[in-house]
Amino acid sequence: MSVTFGAFHLVSKMYGRKACQLVREFSTGEKGQLTPFNSDLFDQVIAECSQHYLELQALIRKMQEKELDVQTTKNEDHYGSLIHHLSLVRNKRCLMSYLYNRAEIMRNLIWKVGPVLPQEIQEKLSHYEEEYVKKHYASLKSYESNIDLELAVDMIPPKDPYIKVRVLDDIGEGIVLSDDKIANFTRHSMHFLKRTDVEQFISRGLMEELTG
């Protein structure tokens, strides 16, 4: 019993701190907002996982070399391997939680502003997250094309499909609209366009709807 208590006491004191710190960093941030991807801490947790795996395999081989039953033997090597196994699982769950919750925020942003996230958001993403955003949006558009339905529009139909907007920042020239017409969105210019063509620019703060 003392070996068991000592082993798990060791787990609580030595292992899992970095992984826990990674999750805590996300959970203490503002809800729905991304913090910069902590690649340094993330890589440290990955390295710790690799070390746990090596230690686990070494202890199992040691027991096998002694011709001991790995499943039933309860000695120091068994409890040592248990420590590394549980620490590995815990680290993995923390890593997955960190990635999943960040991905959930990214998916929500894609629904609101489209594939081109604001620059201040892009700066907080890892390279793999940038690729995830592109592939997720491509999958979404492919699905919409297959069912011939645009899912990102408002659930409540607008009274008028056309709205008047003012461009707040230079967006560019030669923008292709849904009816294949070309629009030039220069700063301070005003347009009367389909709501679905300009919603993504409004949500990104590049346009404003003019009412009245």
* CATH number of the domain that residue 204 is part of: 3.40.5.60
pLDDT of residue 45: 95
**What does the alpha-carbon distance between residue 128 and residue 133 come to, in Å, rounded to a whole number?**
9
Q: What percent of the chain lies above the pLDDT cut of 70?
A: 90
Can you spell out the DSSP letters for 102-171?
A: HHHHHHHHHHHH-SS--HHHHTTS-HHHHHHHHHHHHHHHHHHHHHT--TTS-SSPPS-SEEEEEE-S--
Length of the chain, in residues: 212
Nearest to 41 by CA among 101, 120, 95, 122: 95
Q: Is residue 157 predicted with pLDDT exceeding 60?
A: yes
The verdict on 33 and 126 lying in the same domain is yes
Say how many domains are in the chain. 2
Q: Strands of 190-194's sheet, edge to edge?
A: 190-194, 162-167, 207-210
Q: Are residues 98 and 193 in the same domain?
A: no
Residue tagged 């990214």 (tokens): 106
* Phi then psi dihedrals of residue 69, to 5 deg: -75, 115
100 and 186 co-located in one domain: no
User: Is residue 59 in some structural domain?
Assistant: yes
Q: At which of 124, 147, 170 does a domain end?
A: 147
Question: Which structural domain range is residue 125 located in?
Answer: 17-147
Domain membership of residue 181 (yes or no) is yes
- The model's pTM is 0.70
How many C-beta atoms lie closer than 10 Å to residue 117's C-beta? 21
Q: Judge if 168 and 96 occupy the same domain.
A: no
The answer to the question of residue 7 being in a domain is no
Classify residue 62 as left (phi > 0), alpha (psi -120 to 50) or beta. Answer: alpha
Mean pLDDT of all residues belonging to the chain: 84
Quick check: is 157 in a domain? no
pLDDT in tens, 92-144: 999 999 999 999 999 988 887 777 788 888 999 999 999 999 999 889 888 88
pLDDT bin (cut points 50, 70, 90) of residue 3 is very low
pLDDT of residue 155: 56
Q: 20-68 pLDDT, tens per residue?
A: 999 999 888 888 889 999 999 999 999 999 999 999 899 888 888 887 7
Amino acid at 103: A
Residues 118 and 170 in one domain: no
Q: Which of 97, 122, 147 is the last residue of a domain?
A: 147
Q: Based on the domain organization, do 134 and 104 belong to the same domain? A: yes
Higher pLDDT, 172 or 9: 172
